[in-house]
Amino acid sequence: MFRNKFIHIILFLISFSAFSQVNFNTKLSKNQLGLNERVKVEFSVDKDGDNFIPPTFENFRIVGGPSQSIRNSWINGKRSYSKTYSYFLSPIEKGSFEIGQASIEVDGEIYKTLPVQIIVTSAVDKPTNPNDPNYIADKKIHLVAELSDNNPFLNEAVSVIYKLYVAPDTGVDNWRELEAPRYANFWNNNIDIKSLNVQNGTYKGEPYRYVILRRTLLYPQKTGKLKIEPLTLDISVQVPSNRRDFFGNLISSSVNKTVSSGSSIIDVKPLPLNNKPLDFSGAVGKFNFEIKSDKKELLLDEAFQLSLIVSGKGNFNLFDDPKISLPVSLEVYEPEKISNVSVRSNGIKGNINNKYTVVPNNPGKYTIPQTKFSFFDPELEDYKTIYSDPIFIDVEGVYKPSLDSEDNSENIKTNKIQLSESQFSSFKTKTKFSKVNEGIFFNSIFYWILLITPLIICFIIIIVTKFIRNYNSKKIDELKLARNKTNKLLDESKVLIGNKEKFYESIDKALTIYLKTKLKIKNSDFKNEVIQIKLEQMNVEKNTVDLLFEIFENCQLARYTPLNIDAMSDDYNKTKQFIEQLEKY
C-alpha cells in the first residue's frame, strides 16, 4: 500500500516537472541554401515571455522581419501555446556559418536557444515552374532607374528617376531599402516625394502599374565613364496562384523578393576648349545677369547697395560668383550672398544675389561699369557672355581732403603748433552757484512716485507670471488629453490588427490628433509640407521624420494592397516608436 502511494507521488512530480519545463528552440526552413536564396529562421517558445533578444546574424542580411505570431488552442481539454519570432535572411558570402543563441525572459528566468549550423553554397538555378510564386514574382515586378541623359557635359544636370513596375494582377505589401544608390564623382541632391501615386504605364510593351520611389538630381564633376551604383529593395509581393477559396476567388501567395535597379553608366563629355572665355568660372546652363542699385542719388557718407544677380537654370553654387570693379573712392564691403533656388528633376532653377554695401568717400558722379558673366550653354554646345548695363551714381557733399595725401603730410611734418598763454582766454568762465531746490523732498510728488512705482511693478509681474503659468498649464493639459486619446486609439488599433480598413483608419486618426496638438497645426494647414517644416524647426532627426511619412505612405497604400497581418503589426510598432521618439523633443 505504501509502495503504491510512493510510486504515485514520484509519477506526479515527474509529470509536474515536465509540464513546467519551458521549450525554446530555433527552426530553419532549410539547412543549406545558395547565395541567391533566402532562409526563414523561427524562434519558438511554448510559454509567454518578454525581452526577446535575437542573435546578431553575422554573415547574413535581414531582408524580412522580425514578425511575431501567437498560437493558442485547446485540444481535448489540453491547452497548447506557442509564440514565434520569425526572420528572413539573405546570405552575404559562401561558407559554413552559425546562427547564434537567442534569449527570452519567462517568469523571471532567462532561456536561450542552441546555436544551429547552416551552409551557404554558390548561387543555384531558380525553378522555372510557372506555378512557383518566386518565379511569378520575378516576372511580375521590376525596379528601373531612368536617366534623362546618358551623355551629358561636365556639370550639366542629369536626373535619375527610380520606378517600381508591378503587374496589374500582383500586389505589394511593403518594401524596405537594402542598399541606397551611390553617386561617386557627382554632386547630388534628392528631390522630396511627398506622396506615392500609383500610375498606369507600360514596361517592355506590356501594361503595368508603377510608383516613383525616388528622384535624384546629379551634376557630374568628372569627365569619362562614371558609374551609378544601384538601388536595392526588399519587397513583400502578393502573387496570384491557381488555387481558389471556398467562394471561387483566386488565393494570393506572399513571397519576399529582392529587386535591384542595376548599375548605370554615364559617359560625361568635357567642355570644349574652342571659344572658351578667359574669365569662365564653370557655370553650365542658361543664365541671365544684371546689376541693380537701390540708390542713384545720395549724400556723402551715405551707403548704397549693389546687387549682382545671376538667374536662370543651371549648376548654381558650383561656379564662382561674378566680381565687380569699382572706383577707389568707393569703399566696398564683403557681399552678402542670398540664394533663392529650388531643386527640380530637370535642374536647379532660381537666382543668387551677391549684395554689396558701398560707401562713397568723396562727392562726385560715379559710374558702375559694365560687368560680364560667361557660361556654357549645353543645348547650343557653345559659350555665351552677357553684360550688365552701366549704372550712374550721383554723390553730393563737400570734398574732404585725405590726411594721408602728400600735401597734408608735408604740412603735418614741417609746421609746428605754437600755443600762447592767451590762446584759449575767450573760453575762461567764472563759476556761479545757485540753489537748485529750496523745497522739502519728503512728502513731495516725486517722493510718492518713487515709493509706489516698485509696488506697481511687482503687482504687474505677479499678474503676468500667473497668466503665463495658467496659459502653459492649459497647453500641457491639452497635450496630455491628446496623448491619452492617442494611446486609446493605439490600443484600439492593436485589437483591430486583421481588419485592414479600420486598423489603418485608427492609426491615421491617432497620428492626426497627436500631431495637431503637439505641433500646433490647424485643420486647414495639416499637410505633409507643414508637418515637415514644423518637425525640422524642432530639430527632429531625419530618421524620425522619414519614419512618420513611411507610416502615412503605408496607410495610403494599404487601400490598394492585399491583407498582410505582419505588415499591420509592423506599422503599429512603427507608430508607437515614432510617438516615443517625438516625445523626447
Strand partners, 234: 176, 258
Q: Cell 597734408 maps to which residue?
A: 408
CB of 231 within 8 A of CB of 245?
no
pLDDT higher than threshold 90 for residue 107: no
Retrieve residue 304's grid coordinates.
548704397
CB of 375 within 8 A of CB of 321?
no
Task: Read off the DSSP letter of residue 425.
Answer: G
Q: Please state, in angstroms and rounded to a whole number, the distance separating the CA atoms of residues 463 and 149.
A: 67
Q: What is the pTM of this model?
A: 0.52
185, amino acid identity: N
Which tens digit of pLDDT belongs to each residue from 505-519? Answer: 888 888 888 888 778
* pLDDT for residue 152: 95
Rounded to an integer, the average pLDDT of 277-290 is 93
Residue 263 binned pLDDT confidence (cut-offs 50, 70, 90)? confident
Among residues 508, 491, 488, which one has the least CA distance to residue 554? Answer: 508
* pLDDT for residue 212: 93
299 compared with 81, residue with greater pLDDT: 299
* pLDDT for residue 262: 83
CB of 89 within 8 A of CB of 39?
yes
* pLDDT for residue 472: 66
**66 preceded by cis ω (within 30°)?**
yes
Retrieve residue 349's grid coordinates.
532653377
pLDDT higher than threshold 70 for residue 127: no
Which tens digit of pLDDT belongs to each residue from 443-494? Answer: 778 778 888 888 889 889 888 888 787 766 666 666 677 677 777 777 777 7
Which tens digit of pLDDT belongs to each residue from 205-229? Answer: 899 999 999 999 999 999 999 999 8
* pLDDT for residue 89: 85
Residue 319 binned pLDDT confidence (cut-offs 50, 70, 90)? very high
Residue 155 binned pLDDT confidence (cut-offs 50, 70, 90)? very high
Rounded to an integer, the average pLDDT of 338-342 is 92
Q: Please state, in angstroms and rounded to a whole number, the distance separating the CA atoms of residues 353 and 335.
A: 9
Q: Please state, in angstroms and rounded to a whole number, the distance separating the CA atoms of residues 471 and 81.
A: 52
Q: Please state, in angstroms and rounded to a whole number, the distance separating the CA atoms of residues 341 and 382.
A: 24
pLDDT higher than threshold 60 for residue 195: yes
Rounded to an integer, the average pLDDT of 285-300 is 93
Q: Please state, in angstroms and rounded to a whole number, the distance separating the CA atoms of residues 402 and 414.
A: 17
Helix (H) or strand (E) holding 337: strand 336-344
Q: Please state, in angstroms and rounded to a whole number, the distance separating the CA atoms of residues 208 and 462.
A: 69
pLDDT higher than threshold 80 for residue 559: no
Whole-number average pLDDT of the chain? 80
Most confident option among 86-95, 169-178, 425-434? 86-95
End-to-end CA distance of the chain: 73
* pLDDT for residue 186: 93
pLDDT higher than threshold 60 for residue 269: yes
* pLDDT for residue 178: 76
Rounded to an integer, the average pLDDT of 17-22 is 57
* pLDDT for residue 407: 40
